[in-house]
Every structure is written in C-alpha cells, then in structure tokens.
C-alpha cells in the first residue's frame, strides 16, 4: 500500500540539531600548563635570595661631654715606689716572715739571715773594748801616781834635798804615762768603732721594709743563700720579696708623638680598667716625660688617679681618654654613639650599615672621636636608627636582612 509524502512526514521524529563533538585535547593541555607554572613559581621561590641574619643596635645620642675626648690611648698601671728587698751582705736565709698579699709597715722585719759568725765577731770586739777600757783605767791610776811623785820631787828639788836626776826620772815617768794614756784612749776609740761595725753587720742580717706597702712576690725561702749582687747564674738569690707602695700607683702611657700636642700637665683623664670595663675612673696627667722613644716614636705620659681604690692593682691594663684639651671646635656638634664594630672601611671611607625596611643601607659617616668601645659620629646617622654590628662579610647595599637580636 502506498502512503502519501505528507503522511510519512507526520510520522518522522524531530531530534533537533546534532550536538557538536567534544574537543578532547584542550583540557589536559590546560592542566599541564598550570602544573608547569606552579613548578616554576616554586623553583623561583626556593631560589630567591634569603635575608641575611644581622645583629643590630640603636644609635644613641652622645652626651654633652662626648665631644670633649681629644685622644684615646692605652697603658698599664705601675707603681712609682716598688722595690725588690735584698740584703747588704751575703748570707744564708734562716727566716722569711712575709707572704704574698701581706701589708707591711716601714721598718718591719721581713727576713733574717744566719748571724752566728757575725755575732761571734761582735762578742770578740766587745771583749777587746772592755780590755782596752780596763787598761785605760789602770794607766789613769799610774799617771795620777806619777804626777804626785813629780810634784813631790819638784818641792824637794826646790829645797835642794834630792838630786836633779831623781826629779828628771819622775818627770819622765809622768810624761810616759800621759803618752800611754793618749794611746790607750785611741785604742778604746778603735775598739768602740770595731764594735759599731760588727753591730751594723749584725743589724744587716735583719732585713726590714724600707717603706710601707704590700708584698707582691716572695722570692726566697729559708736555707737559700742571698746576696746583694748576682752570682752569675748560680743558686744565690738576689732578693727576699717585692714590696709595692699602693699609694704610688699611676698609669704609664706611650702616646704617639704625632698626638702629644693634645696632652698637657694637669689635663683631666678618664681611665677604664680592662678588669672593670664599666667603671670610669677620674684621673689627671701628672707629667709628660720630656724625651721621645726613637724606636717607637712615642712619648711617655704619667697619669695619676684622683682617688685610689683597692681594686686598682699594679700591671693592670688600662684605657684612657684625654679630655678637654686639643684643637678648638667652632661649637657643639650633635653626635651619636655607635659601637666601634659597626664602623667599617670601604673604599677608603668610614661607613656603617643601617637597617631600613628590612634592607641594609650603606651610610658614609664622619668619625669625630672614640671612647672605650664606642665611636662618636658627627654625621651620617641619626639617634635611634639601628646599625649593623655583626653580619656576614661583604653585606651589600640594599641586601635583604633579618635582625636576630636577643
């Protein structure tokens, strides 16, 4: 049976336009690109320059006296009165009555030497003196008798009772006893001086302190030989102990002769001992030794303490800052203090690294002086800015930094 075209068209199902075929290669490409970009970003982040770790301090404003330091130097504490106590004679030590750190007074007995031989000689001299005095007394008696006999003979010869020879004999006896008396008086004087010498020898076996002070070293022991002169490398000691007069302590400084014009007698000085770095000790210049050392090109300067303290000991190392004398300045300078370790030399100039916004900024500075461990800057840094005192070598201008202050 034949159907018409219209009937056939009515029976057809309308499915609409066919959907477009999916593009299967685009999605994997996008995912791969994102992964590559993420890996590149991660690599760049890992390869970025890390911030250098630095230690910083804040620059502080200098006090009104900071710009008065005209010269800094170092030296040692010395004693103006210091002696190694020895003996005047050679002898064996029998007693040592001092120890290190003992305070002694002037004339105090420090040690004794063997005095047996000297004591025996002194006793002999004393016996000879007694014998001479006894003989002198006998001669005085004999002289008195002779003078009385001479007086009688003189009266008798005036009366022509005795012969002239008897008178002459009596006169000679009196003259002889006078001469003998004079001789024996001389012998007594010699014996007395002999006793004095041996007494001095005995006193020399007792070693005494020549001045008050403190014993800093003990150099001999009982049984050792001691002598006022060196024995040429033998076992003979030349001293018992060393005594220091603590009231005579001062600081000796070798100042470069190029800067000696900044120092004058009476100039105020501030000293700091290495043992007590926070202790400021007021001092003053005692004297400038009027000669230079051609080997070191220095001039010695003596600095005295305004007030002594038991903490100050001989041979301590000291730093001093000379104050108030030097080249005139036009006016007060607004300065800041930073640690010396913060100031570096680059291209012949003094520079510091200042931390600004997490980065290091190089600043050229003017160093106008220094005191202790601080540098006095008159230009380049403002109070409160943080300067690098410890960081990696070769820290560049603009480098990222991270402060690691405790």
Given a cut of 90, whether residue 286 has pLDDT beyond it is yes
- Does residue 356 lie in a domain region? yes
pLDDT attached to residue 52: 73
| 223 and 110 assigned to the same domain | yes
* 19-28, 39-48, 355-364, range with greatest mean pLDDT: 355-364
Task: Please state the domain count of the chain.
Answer: 4
Do 292 and 269 sit in the same domain of this protein?
yes
Residue 68: per-residue pLDDT: 63
Quick: pLDDT tens for 255-274: 988 888 889 899 999 999 98
The more confident residue out of 117 and 278 is 117
pLDDT recorded at residue 332? 45
As a whole number, mean pLDDT of residues 133-147 equals 81
Which range, 29-38, 220-229, 283-292, 357-366, has the best average confidence (pLDDT)?
283-292
Q: What is the mean pLDDT of residues 65-79?
A: 77
User: Looking at the structure, do residues 99 and 152 belong to the same domain, yes or no?
Assistant: no
Q: Which of 293, 323, 353 is the last residue in one of the domains?
A: 323
Q: What is the pLDDT of residue 19?
A: 54
3-state secondary structure of 56: strand
Q: What's the rounded Cα separation, in Å, for the pair 340 and 120? A: 71
Residue 130 pLDDT > 70: yes
> In b/e form, how buried is each residue of 305-343, taking b as 16+ CB within 10 angstroms?
beeeeeebbbebebbbbbbebbeeeeeebebbbbbeebb
Task: Decide if 112 contacts 205 (C-beta within 8 A).
Answer: yes
Name the domain boundary from 305, 323, 341: 323
What mean pLDDT is predicted for residues 186-193?
87
Q: Are residues 212 and 110 in the same domain?
A: yes
**32 occurs within a structural domain:** no
130 and 154 within one domain: yes
pLDDT at position 49: 57
Clarify whether residues 108 and 173 are in a common domain: no
The pLDDT value given to residue 110:
93
Indicate whether 238 and 184 sit together in one domain: no
Specify if 42 maps to a domain: no
Same domain, 149 and 220: no
In a domain, 292, yes or no: yes
Could you list the residue range(s) of the whole structural domain that residue 210 is in? 83-114+206-244
So what's the pLDDT on residue 299? Answer: 92
What average pLDDT does the structure give for the chain? 80
Answer yes or no: do 73 and 60 share one domain. no
Query: How many percent of the chain have pLDDT more than 70?
Result: 81
Q: Is the pLDDT of residue 193 over 50?
A: yes
For residue 34, is it within any domain?
no
Residues 374 and 263 placed together within one structural domain of the fold:
no
What pLDDT was estimated at residue 206?
A: 92
Task: Kindly calculate the radius of gyration of the chain based on its CA atoms and give it in whole angstroms.
Answer: 51
CATH code, domain carrying 254: 2.40.30.170
Nearest one of 100, 119, 83 to 206, comparing CA atoms:
119
CATH of the domain at 215: 2.40.50.100
Listed residues 283, 299, 323: the one ending a domain: 323
Does a structural domain hold residue 33? no
Is 140 part of a structural domain of the chain?
yes
The pLDDT confidence band at residue 328, using thresholds 50, 70 and 90, is very low
**Residue whose C-alpha is closest to residue 323's, from 131, 64, 85:** 64
263 and 306 housed in the same domain: yes
Kindly state whether residue 126 falls inside one of the protein's structural domains: yes
Model-wide pTM > 0.85? no
Together in a domain, 109 and 210: yes
Has residue 25 got a pLDDT over 60? no
């Amino acid at each position: 049976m034949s159907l018409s075209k219209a009937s056939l068209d009515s029976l057809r199902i309308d499915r609409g336009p066919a959907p477009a075929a999916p593009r299967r290669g685009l999605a994997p490409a996008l995912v791969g690109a994102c992964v590559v970009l993420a890996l590149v970003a991660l690599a760049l982040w890992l390869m970025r320059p890390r911030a250098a770790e630095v230690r910083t301090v804040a620059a502080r404003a200098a006090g009104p006296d900071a710009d008065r330091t005209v010269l800094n130097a170092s030296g040692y504490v010395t004693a103006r009165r210091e002696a190694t106590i020895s003996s005047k004679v050679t002898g064996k030590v029998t007693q040592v009555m001092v120890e290190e750190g003992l305070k002694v007074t002037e004339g105090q007995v420090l040690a004794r030497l063997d005095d047996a031989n000297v004591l025996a000689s002194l006793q002999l001299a004393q016996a000879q003196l007694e014998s001479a005095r006894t003989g002198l007394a006998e001669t005085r008696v004999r002289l008195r008798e002779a003078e009385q006999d001479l007086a009688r003979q003189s009266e008798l010869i005036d009366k022509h009772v005795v012969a002239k020879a008897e008178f002459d004999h009596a006169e000679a006896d009196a003259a002889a006893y006078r001469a003998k008396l004079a001789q024996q008086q001389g012998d007594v004087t010699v014996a007395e001086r002999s006793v004095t010498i041996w007494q001095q020898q005995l006193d020399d076996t007792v070693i005494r302190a020549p001045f008050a002070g403190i014993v800093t070293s003990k150099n001999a022991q009982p049984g050792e030989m001691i002598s006022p002169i060196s024995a040429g490398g033998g076992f003979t000691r030349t001293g018992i102990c060393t005594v220091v007069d603590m009231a005579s302590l001062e600081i000796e400084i070798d100042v470069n002769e190029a800067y000696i014009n900044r120092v004058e007698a009476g100039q105020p000085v501030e000293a700091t001992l290495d043992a007590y770095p926070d202790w400021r000790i007021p001092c003053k210049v005692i004297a400038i030794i009027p000669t230079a050392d051609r080997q070191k090109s220095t001039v010695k300067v003596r600095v005295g303490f305004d007030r002594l303290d038991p903490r100050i000991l001989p041979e301590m190392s000291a730093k001093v800052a000379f104050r108030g004398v030097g080249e005139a300045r036009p006016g007060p300078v607004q300065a800041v203090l930073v640690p010396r370790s913060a100031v570096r030399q680059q291209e012949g100039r003094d520079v510091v690294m200042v931390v600004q916004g997490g980065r290091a900024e190089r600043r050229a500075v003017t160093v106008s002086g220094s005191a202790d461990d601080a540098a006095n800057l008159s230009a380049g840094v403002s109070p409160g800015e943080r300067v690098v005192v410890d960081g990696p070598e070769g820290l560049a201008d603009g480098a990222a930094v991270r402060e690691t202050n405790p």
